[in-house]
Structure 1
Amino acid sequence: MSFFESFSQIRGILKSIDLNAVSKLSKRVDLNKLMATVSKMDDADLAKMVRMMQAGAAKKKEHPPVNGDFYELDKTLTEEDREIQLKVREFMNNEIRPIANEYWNKAHFPMHIIPLMAKLNICGLTYQGYGCAGKSALLEGFIAMEMARVDSSISTFFGVHSGLAMGSIYLCGSEEQKAYWLPIMQRMEIIGAFGLTEPEVGSGAAGGLTTTCKKVGDEWVLNGQKKWIGNATFSDITIIWARNLDDNQVKGFIVKKDNPGFEAKKMEDKMALRTVQNALITLTDCKVPEMDRLQNANSFKDTANVLRMTRAGVAWQAVGCGRGAYELALKYTMERKQFGRPIAGFQLVQDLLVTMLGDLTAMQTMVYRLSQLQDSEQLADEHASLAKVFCTLRMRSIVDHARELFGGNGILLEYDIARFVADAEAIYSYEGTKEINSLIVGRAITGESAFV
């Protein structure tokens, strides 16, 4: 491009500029000196200047909406279920997103959100009767995803209360116990926790709990410790699983927070799910009346029924965490500019985004089918375990790529992604490690048990 061609283009660009803008510019710079400088430029510099001015004059490009549901699975929900999903999304965006980093950083739980969450009327969503909605496992999965998409800590709090605690009573309680506890838990008038894991017993819970129970008259005496028990610092009741000294079978108990011999101490210095209040529970000759023993919990198989149901929910949580990270990264790449343009327009960035979306979409379709199996009562341990393994592995990959796209900003809490990276580590480990869930699937496909 010659000097005269470049100068002609510059004149054309200047003519298209609003005269008021030129008047304002003349107050900031000496236009005569500016033009004198331009006249001394060589052809290459003039061409660069033309491209910059044309880019500046161009209309701002509109990017597509940020949406991690690439295959539009939410459109398969009924109109009523879709309304519930969007109501939860609105709650998470309006009530949780603005405070998520603050409470995560302080390692405190926002107690004020409990009555607000209660208004959503979503606790015990899949249970029939007792004030529960009797909805599908598919909708329950979408709700777990919506929560984890914004804050995995809140999703975990909800899953412990609605899934593990309420689920234990729903599956293992007597009719009288279900009729009393489930309606008030559904309304979140009382909050529940679930005590299975112990300081020295995590994956090996099926092989023998060290927390014991023994019936003495009309009471049961519990002794031992439980560790990593979410919600337990403030829960009204905690479901405690203990080994009966008389028959060596696992029993379940509804233990109230003011029970003598029950102590819950907050665990400090966590690097993940910091908003969740995990406790170390110590049971010292803790006496529980027979009426508070879960009447239909007679072995670890009954405990496993609860875990199978909730493990599917954890797979959905992994999808939510991954989706939240992907959407944060996608939005950031559209806004972050380097070399005069959004980084979303660079090939390496797009390659990472597509890799993340592929993983996310595979996860979504897997848990979608998992919930269909649950709704048709075909869900087996190995189905839930495979989803837990695959989805948490892919979730880790997604948050890792998202962190990479944020560059140095990715380690700052204000950009949110650092919280997702940390929380993903907890989701990866709880409700059965990758190794244990792999062995459950391996046993199912080979017929050989590799457990020690």
Structure 2
Amino acid sequence: MSKNLADLNSLEERISALEKIAENFKKRAAEIDEKGEFVYENIADLKNCGYTVLTIPKVFGGKETSLYDYIRLQEVIAQGDGATALSIGWHMGVVRNMYENKWNPKVLAAVYEDLHAGALINAAATEPQTGSPTRGGKPQTKAEKIGDKWVINGHKSFTTMSVVLDYFVVSASIKDSEEIGNFLIRKEKKGIRIEETWDSIALKGTGSHDVYFENVEVEQEDYVETLGGAKRVNPWLLHIPACYLGIAGAAQKEAVLFAKNYAPNSITGTISELPSVRTKIGELELKMLQAKYFLYSVSKKWDETKEEERELLLPQLSAAKLVVTNTAIEVVDLAMRIVGARSLSAKSPLQRYYRDVRAGLHNPPMDDMTIGQLANFSLNKY
């Protein structure tokens, strides 16, 4: 079997190859979590196996992976390590979004060429003063036109993979204007400073540090898109629930294997034969089935829907994130109940899954915004 995922023809083959790679992620996860280090080796492995280029459009020499295939692969990565899955998921989504958002073809061609060679890209949008950009806050980061250059000044927080990014897509308010734009900034530009502030107890390996842009000059063509107006639906954000579904799957496996092997001398056989434990194991399977069918069906529906009708799927995409993420939290909690006090041991991966899966509540779209969307959808339907 080829070591390059891009050379494999089926989803099943790619999943099988990626599962072997994700086993290494699982082996490294405890040490990364303990030290709070970025997942350097894991990201390098994903680059070396060709994973990071799978979402590049066909017209730029890529495989243009479907949404369904993408979330299935992201789930596999998360079963090995959630921080790695969430990190690379942002890159994979931006890789597709910049094409779908119709960036300048000349810029796209140059960036995709670098991506084929292993470059990494992510958005830098969140700021301490505004919080999540999905809430509508105006960036405090400023872009000013000086001569034939744009000059960027600002401070971004929660910039995942900041230490290895080759490109930052930075949102900024245009000086003396009401406009907000995205600017493409290459890592070698002068004036970029990364402050390693990431101290979260969840997903420690994402390297989501603060990044400062101090009088960073970019070309006119690097003003890649104007934001605002009708917001485009971004299906690639489904990598978020896929990540937490993967973490939940890892917790389920850990709990079931524990139950099948733990045999205290107070009973005959293992605890997997106890009615109370069997009930919990059954509930685990039911919750995982519900979450998988929801996420998989929504992603397939996106792939099968005509482009002009895809905007109508926004409530379903948002609902998938809410349901899957909250179900993943329930699964990890239930898995810990099966294992008992041992699940709180520092040696148990369950305590890491418990911390990591909670982070899903704070990734977009937020639950309250989704409920608002669904209310509007229902009120307009009847």
Shared fold per TM-score greater than 0.5: yes
Partner of 1:113: 42
Partner of 2:241: 315
Tell me the CA shift for residue 219 of structure 1: 1.3
Answer yes or no: is the 8 Å Cα contact 2:19–2:77 preserved in 1.
Answer: yes
Partner of 1:210: 140
Q: Percent identity, aligned pairs only?
A: 17
- Which of residues 307, 321, 339 in structure 2 aligns to 1:388? 321
Partner of 2:100: 171
Distance in 2 of aligned mates of 1:274 and 1:142: 23
* CA gap 1:333/1:163 in 2 versus in 1, 3 angstroms: same
- Give 1:184-223 correspondences, 5 Å limit: 184-188=114-118, 190-203=119-132, 205-223=135-153
Distance in 1 of aligned mates of 2:278 and 2:229: 47
Partner of 2:190: 260
| TM-score between both structures, scaled by the size of structure 2 | 0.89
Distance in 2 of aligned mates of 1:135 and 1:416: 31
Answer yes or no: is the 8 Å Cα contact 2:167–2:184 preserved in 1.
Answer: yes
* CA gap 1:128/1:205 in 2 versus in 1, 3 angstroms: same
Partner of 1:182: 112
Distance in 2 of aligned mates of 1:405 and 1:114: 33
Distance in 1 of aligned mates of 2:70 and 2:86: 13
Answer yes or no: is the 8 Å Cα contact 2:169–2:183 preserved in 1.
Answer: yes
Partner of 1:337: 263
**C-alpha RMSD of matched pairs (Å):** 2.2
Partner of 1:357: 285
- Which of residues 101, 126, 144 in structure 1 aligns to 2:74? 144
Distance in 2 of aligned mates of 1:285 and 1:222: 5
Secondary structure of 1:215 counterpart: strand
Secondary structure of 1:241 counterpart: strand
Answer yes or no: is the 8 Å Cα contact 2:46–2:52 preserved in 1.
Answer: no
- Which of residues 195, 213, 218 in structure 2 aligns to 1:283? 213
**Any runs of at least 4 consecutive aligned residues in structure 1 with deviations exceeding 4 A, and if so which?**
none
Answer yes or no: is the 8 Å Cα contact 1:152–1:423 preserved in 2.
Answer: yes
Partner of 2:296: 368
Answer yes or no: is the 8 Å Cα contact 2:43–2:88 preserved in 1.
Answer: no
Partner of 1:99: 28
Deviations 1:15-40 (A, max 9, x none): xxxxxxxxxxxxxxxxxxxxxxxxxx
2:333 pairs with 1:400: yes
Distance in 2 of aligned mates of 1:171 and 1:405: 45
Deviations 1:34-88 (A, max 9, x none): xxxxxxxxxxxxxxxxxxxxxxxxxxxxxxxxxxxxxxxxxxxx97211011111
Tell me the CA shift for residue 121 of structure 1: 2.0
Answer yes or no: is the 8 Å Cα contact 2:39–2:84 preserved in 1.
Answer: no
Partner of 1:271: 201
Give the letter for the 2:370 counterpart.
N
Tell me the CA shift for residue 205 of structure 1: 4.4
Deviations 1:303-322 (A, max 9, x none): x53x7222222122222122
Secondary structure of 1:99 counterpart: helix
Distance in 2 of aligned mates of 1:228 and 1:157: 11
Answer yes or no: is the 8 Å Cα contact 1:265–1:279 preserved in 2.
Answer: yes
Tell me the CA shift for residue 447 of structure 1: 4.0
Answer yes or no: is the 8 Å Cα contact 2:39–2:206 preserved in 1.
Answer: no
Give the letter for the 1:364 counterpart.
K
- Which of residues 198, 207, 226 in structure 2 aligns to 1:298? 226
| TM-score between both structures, scaled by the size of structure 1 | 0.76
Give the letter for the 2:256 counterpart.
L
Distance in 2 of aligned mates of 1:407 and 1:106: 26
Answer yes or no: is the 8 Å Cα contact 1:312–1:388 preserved in 2.
Answer: yes
* CA gap 1:347/1:186 in 2 versus in 1, 3 angstroms: farther
Answer yes or no: is the 8 Å Cα contact 1:311–1:385 preserved in 2.
Answer: no
Give the letter for the 1:111 counterpart.
Y
Answer yes or no: is the 8 Å Cα contact 1:150–1:324 preserved in 2.
Answer: yes
